Amino acid sequence: MVEVKTSKDFSELIAKLNPTNEEHKIALEKIIKDYPYFQTPFLYYSKLLKNTNHYDYEKILNQTAVLTNDRKVLKLFIDDFRFNQVSKGTKKIESQTNKSKLKLSFIEWIKYSEKKLDPIIDAKIPLENKINIIDDFIDKNPSIQRIDRNDETSDLELENVFSPEELMTETLAKIFLKQKKYGKALKAYRILSLKYPEKNAFFAVQIKKIKEIQDKD
């Protein structure tokens, strides 16, 4: 039985992933069930299902597409990626065609989108206090409208998926916005503001835009 408990375990699974290995398939299924917004396992699971002509392929591919920023690159990965084509040593690029360049871009994109930064805010600070930090920032910026604390921030469903200290991505915030789940989108951007204070101004603007959209709806 393949167990994936750490990021190292996950990397090792991906490195040796075999589409005909039932244990590998089960391990990926468990990961995407436990982490429904973690895009990398969805990508490999979709590819695995395609390689085995699995009946769930279209369903999983659609879920993967929702988590993917560039669907052209996703299509290229699904169509052209070969399991175990990259050795443990130096990565080899088979050719310099546009397709191979897109493959490299896809790998770089995964690494960038999934990387984790050291926590900047002390994990012992309660989530409510951290959110107040964001509200204070918006209060002090006259060009940004303050978020009403009586809005949908009491929605606890988001915490059922992510703990306050887990990685909250911009992709997830955009997904919530696209689905018109404004309360969740607001909370996602607040958590992003805490994790990446250097982008506070940008996230505050996004929060304001969401509020404006919410008011129109």
Amino acid at site 71: R
- pLDDT confidence of 132, banded at 50, 70, 90? low
Q: How confident is the model at residue 98 (pLDDT cuts 50, 70, 90)?
A: very low
Lowest-confidence range among 9-23, 68-82, 199-213? Answer: 68-82
Distances 91 to 34, 47, 105, 146 between C-alpha atoms, Å:
30, 20, 13, 49
Residue 23: the pLDDT is 92
Q: What pLDDT is stored for residue 26 in this prediction?
A: 92
What's the average model confidence in pLDDT over 188-202? 77
Instruction: Say how far residue 203 (Cα) sits from the centre of its chain.
Output: 17
pLDDT computed for residue 111 by the predictor: 47
Q: What is the pLDDT of residues 153-175, one digit of tens each?
A: 334 434 444 444 444 567 778 88
Give the per-residue pLDDT at 195: 74
Average pLDDT over residues 197-207: 80
Mean residue pLDDT across the chain: 67
Residue whose entry in the numeric block shows the structure tokens 């398939």: 25
pLDDT at 145 over 80: no
Query: For the chain, what are the domain ranges?
Result: 7-114, 127-216
DSSP string, 103-169: HHHHHHHHHHHH--PPP-S-TTS-HHHHHHHHHHHHHH-TTSPPPPTTSGGG--HHHHH--TTS---
Mean pLDDT of 121-145: 47
Residue with tokens 């085995």: 52
pLDDT of 81 reads 64
Please give the average per-residue pLDDT across 177-205, as a whole number: 81
Is the CA virtual torsion 161, 181, 183, 189 positive or negative?
positive
Q: What is the pLDDT of residues 1-35, one digit of tens each?
A: 777 877 778 888 888 888 888 999 999 998 888 88
Of 102, 94, 93, 154, the residue nearest 127 (C-alpha): 154
* Residue 147 clears pLDDT 70, i.e. is over it: no
At 146 the pLDDT is 43
